[in-house]
Amino acid sequence: MAVIGEIRKRPGILVGVIALSIVLFLLGVAVNDQFSVLRPGRGTDAGSVDGQAIPYNEYSSEVSDNVKNVEAQNHINLNDVQRNYMNQQTWNEMVNDIVMQHASDKTGVVVSDDEMVSLTMTENLHPVIRQQLFGNNPVDVAGLNGWIKNLNVDEKGQEPGAKRKFWNNLVKQVKKSQLQSKYNTLIMKSIGNVPKWMAEEYYEETNKTADFRYVELPYTEVNDNEIKYTDGDLKEYLNKNAAKFKTAEESRTIQYVAFDVIPSAVDSATALKALTDKLQDFTKGATKSDDSLFVKLYSETPLYDLYTIKGEPGQQAPPVADSLFDLPVKTVIGPYVENGMYKFAKISSKKMMSDSVKVREIVFSFANVQSEADQKAKLAVIDSVYTAIDSLHADFGAMAATYSDDPASKAYGGVVGWVKFNDPTKDEFYKSIVFHNGVPGKPYKYLDAQNNLIKIVEIMEEKPSKPGIKVAYFTRQLAPSQETETDIYSEATQFVQANNTEEKWKKYAAAHPAAIKTVPNITKESYDVNQLSARSLVKWVFDAKRGDVSPIKTVDDGSGVNGRKYVVAYLEAVNGEGTPDLESVKEQVKLAFLKEKKYEVLAKKISDAKAANVDDLATKLGKQVQDAPNSIFANPNLPTGIEPAVVAAGVYIAQGKLSGPIRGNQGVYAVQKVSGVDPPAPTDLTRAVMMAQQAAMAKGRASQDALRKLSKVQDYRLGFEGNN
């Protein structure tokens, strides 16, 4: 209280304290906030390509749109691992787009406005648009152009602007594809001209043959402990062979221990009891409607209101499918465990299903609808036609001939023929009508949103041939209780406290090798660590110092149900861009160093033998001579593996001469050529030119990867992500 009194006497002090607090607060925000101007190289950007920024909000928006599109097209919710894949795929696409645009600017490759009009609005339609809008159906250019004119008229229930956004994305894909195609053509033309000398060289490499014999001394003949070395020797080797260990980007190696967050026996019993307490109500449901209502009210799995056909995969095909097909309706089986859930399965209904169904349709197209008034008028016509057929029993064929916008079927009374059950162009809503829930002779409305159509569909004839069942699932997730999670977290906490230094961690790892997982080559782009969705762990890895032990990190294993783990990690190695320090690559350097020293030991054995020929060498070294008949340089295979240096020596060495020691992949070799056949002078190099062109073009197709490697790509996304 005395302090407050003193401050009241001195209002200047109060103002100064408040001002200082605000400055310190803002400074803290500037230093720590993800949009900080004091953290150089990032700001509000997700990254950059050769200095061109990729704003984080644009990247984030692209990711969100891509996720929405995938989820809508596949009727799924992406899990964390799948979302991580979309993050990385989106980033790669944005980077590649900029790389490609820069390369095109330098070479003058462009896609003109007239070219884009041709590819998006004429009979020369690009395959991207053809597939997305028409699938396997005939292309309707007039209908497409009418649809384009109404891009601002959204479908009922669609997000405002969704149609224009969808079209703009298609146009963007077309331009990107065309630009890449033209650039690739330019590359192919530049590398596809094979000079005569190259064709002649290729001809010789694939036709010059030799029979040679060889002796092999495998590296395994020298034990690692026979070679003495120090860290100084390894460091010297690293310095002399820096290029072998140079890294294109910064990376990390970690070890980690995982604690599975899984339900206890008590949790499992609780979940099972929740099901069995209501099992009687589930069992006594007499109709499909009863089962449907029960599942909606009490089950954690949404109702799948389609039939599963024996032998055909269903969206929720039960693991006990065969037994369900053989049991009577209303039979309940279970409990059993599937995808982290306890389940009871009830046969809700059965019927014989058709492989194909004959249908007729009245098609209403909205391609030429240009206003909301036109749309309302069109919908009114559809309602009146449907009512006339359904309630007033008007002739379907006559109505199709009068009102259908499909010229191919209206001439035949709307008959489109037989539709197959496994037709990939038909979505589940269409199949729900014609195969699962429709009744012959009754009209049904079907919205084909992708093609901007509404159809009145009628089943004309069926061919029931296979049994089908509808299954209602009463489920409860097998999840750990709060008490169980607390116990597991407590176990992880005790582990961290006991192993929170490099020395303690290494001691634990030596005593418990099975508990330790090692993950190399973690980069700033990594979202998954050993198939775990662990962006927060990656962020820690790049903020930590080598030898640090992490706090507890919660990660997702991608299973979708109860797939969480608590992870504690140890930062084993830090590999900077360029030549790494010895400690970070010590194991790799040691292996290469030992192989080098083993070569020296084995090569000396061959040289010291002073053998007259390969048989003499084999005798002195106690080895068997091996034969390599009909060898060619272009196919450097030996029984021990691929050995290009050995085969090259065997083919090109002078006949009868014994080679010196040859450094191979699997060991040290000496070869002696027995005979050789030089190919005749080529009279026609057509095939050689073609093969050389194919080899060159294979490399040319990787032009985008090469361009990306030559570009300076900065990735700052980790600063915005992985904070949980």
In this structure, of 244-253, 375-384, 397-406, 497-506, the range with the lowest mean pLDDT score is 244-253
The predicted pLDDT at position 547 comes to 93
Q: How far apart are CA 715 and CA 59, in angstroms?
A: 12
Task: Tokens for 370, please give them.
Answer: 């240009």
The predicted pLDDT at position 673 comes to 94
Instruction: Identify which has the larger pLDDT, 81 or 112.
Output: 112
Mark residue 530 as left, alpha or beta (left: phi above 0; alpha: psi -120 to 50; beta: remaining): left
Task: Tokens for 493, please give them.
Answer: 């906490």
The predicted pLDDT at position 14 comes to 38
CA 151 to the chain's CA centroid: 32
Contact 128, 177 (CB under 8 A): yes
In this structure, of 12-16, 233-237, 591-595, 634-638, the range with the lowest mean pLDDT score is 12-16
Contact 86, 109 (CB under 8 A): no
Give kind and range of the element (H or E) at residue 554. Answer: strand 553-556
The predicted pLDDT at position 425 comes to 75
The predicted pLDDT at position 105 comes to 85
Q: Give the domain 248-262+481-578 fold.
A: Chitinase A; domain 3 (3.10.50)
β-partners of residue 420 are: 356
Q: What average pLDDT does the segment 268-273 reach?
A: 93
Task: Tokens for 333, please give them.
Answer: 């089986």
pLDDT over 50 at 330, yes or no: yes
pLDDT over 50 at 616, yes or no: yes
Task: Tokens for 297, please give them.
Answer: 């009210």
The predicted pLDDT at position 4 comes to 33
Residue 118 burial (10 A CB sphere; 0-12, 13-18, 19+): middle
Q: What average pLDDT does the segment 272-287 reach?
A: 91
Instruction: Identify which has the larger pLDDT, 327 or 204.
Output: 327
Record the pTM. 0.60
The predicted pLDDT at position 562 comes to 59
pLDDT digits (tens, 9 = 90+) for 2-20: 333 433 344 443 344 434 3
Q: How far apart are CA 105 and CA 96, in angstroms?
A: 14
Q: What average pLDDT does the segment 373-389 reach?
A: 91
pLDDT over 50 at 707, yes or no: yes
- Number of CB atoms found within 10 A of residue 398's CB: 13
Q: How far apart are CA 362 and CA 350, in angstroms?
A: 30
DSSP helix/strand/coil, 547: coil
Categorize the per-residue pLDDT at 445 as very low, low, confident or very high, splitting at 50, 70 and 90: very high
Q: Name which of 226, 256, 237, 299 is nearest 473 in CA terms.
A: 299
CA atoms within 13 A on the CB side of 347: 20
Give 76-127 as a DSSP string. Answer: ----HHHHHHHHHHHHHHHHHHHHHHHHHHHHT----HHHHHHHHHSTT--H
The predicted pLDDT at position 314 comes to 53
Q: What phi and psi values does residue 353 have, to the nearest 5 degrees?
A: -105, 155
The predicted pLDDT at position 723 comes to 67
Mark residue 47 as left, alpha or beta (left: phi above 0; alpha: psi -120 to 50; beta: remaining): left
pLDDT over 60 at 550, yes or no: yes
Categorize the per-residue pLDDT at 465 as very low, low, confident or very high, splitting at 50, 70 and 90: confident
| Contacts of 111-115 spanning 24+ positions with Cβ under 8 A | 111/175, 111/178, 111/179, 111/182, 115/178
Q: How far apart are CA 282 and CA 476, in angstroms?
A: 13
Candidate CATH numbers 3.40.50, 2.40.128, 3.10.50, 3.30.410; the one for domain 209-240+588-677 = 3.10.50
In this structure, of 24-28, 368-372, 650-654, the range with the lowest mean pLDDT score is 24-28
The predicted pLDDT at position 558 comes to 64
Strand bridging mode 443-448 / 453-477: antiparallel
pLDDT digits (tens, 9 = 90+) for 680-699: 888 777 777 777 767 666 66
Instruction: Identify which has the larger pLDDT, 721 or 647.
Output: 647
b/e string for 216-237 if b means 16 or more Cβ within 10 A? bbebeebeeeeeeeeeeebeeb
The predicted pLDDT at position 639 comes to 85
Q: Name which of 673, 687, 577 is nearest 629 in CA terms.
A: 673
Categorize the per-residue pLDDT at 319 as very low, low, confident or very high, splitting at 50, 70 and 90: low
The predicted pLDDT at position 423 comes to 77
pLDDT over 60 at 522, yes or no: yes
The predicted pLDDT at position 18 comes to 39
Give how far Cα 641 sits from Cα of 319, 566, 664, Å: 44, 43, 10
DSSP helix/strand/coil, 415: strand
Categorize the per-residue pLDDT at 27 as very low, low, confident or very high, splitting at 50, 70 and 90: very low
Categorize the per-residue pLDDT at 148 as very low, low, confident or very high, splitting at 50, 70 and 90: confident
The predicted pLDDT at position 559 comes to 63
Q: What average pLDDT does the segment 386-399 reach?
A: 93
CATH number of 269-477: 3.10.50.40
Task: Tokens for 597, please give them.
Answer: 């020293």
Q: Name which of 571, 556, 552 is nearest 488 in CA terms.
A: 552
pLDDT over 70 at 36, yes or no: no
pLDDT over 70 at 37, yes or no: no
- Number of CB atoms found within 10 A of residue 99's CB: 22
Q: What average pLDDT does the segment 293-312 reach?
A: 83
Q: How far apart are CA 511 and CA 515, in angstroms?
A: 9
Q: What average pLDDT does the segment 232-244 reach?
A: 89
Instruction: Identify which has the larger pLDDT, 584 or 386.
Output: 386
Task: Tokens for 593, please give them.
Answer: 């160093």
pLDDT, the chain, mean: 83
The predicted pLDDT at position 389 comes to 93
Please check whether the two domains, 248-262+481-578 and 269-477, share a CATH topology: yes
pLDDT over 90 at 176, yes or no: no
With a CB cutoff of 8 Å and minimum separation 6, the contacts of 141 are: 121, 122, 123, 125
The predicted pLDDT at position 175 comes to 87
- The domain locations on the chain are 2-32, 57-184, 209-240+588-677, 248-262+481-578, 269-477
DSSP helix/strand/coil, 460: strand
Contact 456, 362 (CB under 8 A): yes
The predicted pLDDT at position 107 comes to 83
Contact 70, 17 (CB under 8 A): no
The predicted pLDDT at position 6 comes to 37
Q: What phi and psi values does residue 385 have, to the nearest 5 degrees?
A: -65, -45
Instruction: Give the Cα-Cα-Cα angle 47, 52, 53 (nearest 5 degrees).
Output: 40
Task: Tokens for 47, please give them.
Answer: 């990254």
CA 559 to the chain's CA centroid: 15
